[in-house]
Amino acid sequence: MPMEYKLHIGCHLSSAKGFLAMGREASRLGADTFAFFTRNPRGGRAKELDLADVEAFLQYKEDEGIVTLVAHAPYTMNACAAKENLRRFAHEAMADDIQRLEHLPGNLYNFHPGSHVGQGTEKGIELIAQQLNDVLTPDQQTTVLLETMAGKGTEVGRTFEELRAIIDRVEHDDTLGVCLDTCHVWDGGYDIREHLDEVLTEFDRVIGLPRLRAI
């Protein structure tokens, strides 16, 4: 039986004024969801979480019918960097982000798998999976999304097979999903303009459509 999906449309919003402000802006724009960066996209510390703002937003979210949110990790987070200090930052940032998102249960955390910077794709996959195994817990309520990548430079995640290889190495893989970035998959060689159905069929064969959580 074909899977049924309901289309939800949102936009990327600034988190500078907090969650309630983002919710109100989404409603003003006619959106029923939104994406936001967990911290400065170029890295650094996240600002302190305002639990009163979170509580007010959760009530607003329920009242206004806002659905699952997509939080985006900073671009500088590279789980398969060659330098240990960069991998340490990626580990600490992801662990902190997920812990904070647990105050808004049931949402999505999207990240770029990383660039192996000359270590090789297999080593990159190993390091990404290692970080996920260190950070993910069986009782977390946040689903972590591996984003499809264009494959520029030494990016890991250009092919569906590379993402599948990461998933297969993660113990708590039920907490993992995939964000299909249409710009990235097109740039990576998947012809979604002329052969979208075939690309989705390939995604389903390699990864499985149930893991597709955001486009």
CATH top-level class of 10-214: alpha beta
Question: Regarding beta strands 108-111 and 70-72, do their DSSP bridges make them parallel or antiparallel, or are they unpaired?
Answer: parallel
Chain segment 181-204, per-residue pLDDT in tens: 999 999 999 999 999 999 999 999
Number of CB atoms found within 10 A of residue 92's CB:
12
Q: Mean pLDDT score of the chain, rounded to an integer? A: 95
pLDDT at 2 over 60: no
Q: How far apart are CA 178 and CA 210, in angstroms?
A: 9
**In sequence order, which ranges of 30-105 are alpha helices (DSSP H)?**
51-64, 84-101
* Contact predicate 111/77, CB 8 Å: yes
In 3D space, the residue among 170, 173, 139, 145 whose CA is nearest the CA of residue 157 turns out to be: 145
| Residue 98 in tokens | 């997920």
- For the full predicted model, state whether its pTM sits above 0.75: yes
Q: What is the mean pLDDT of residues 108-117?
A: 98
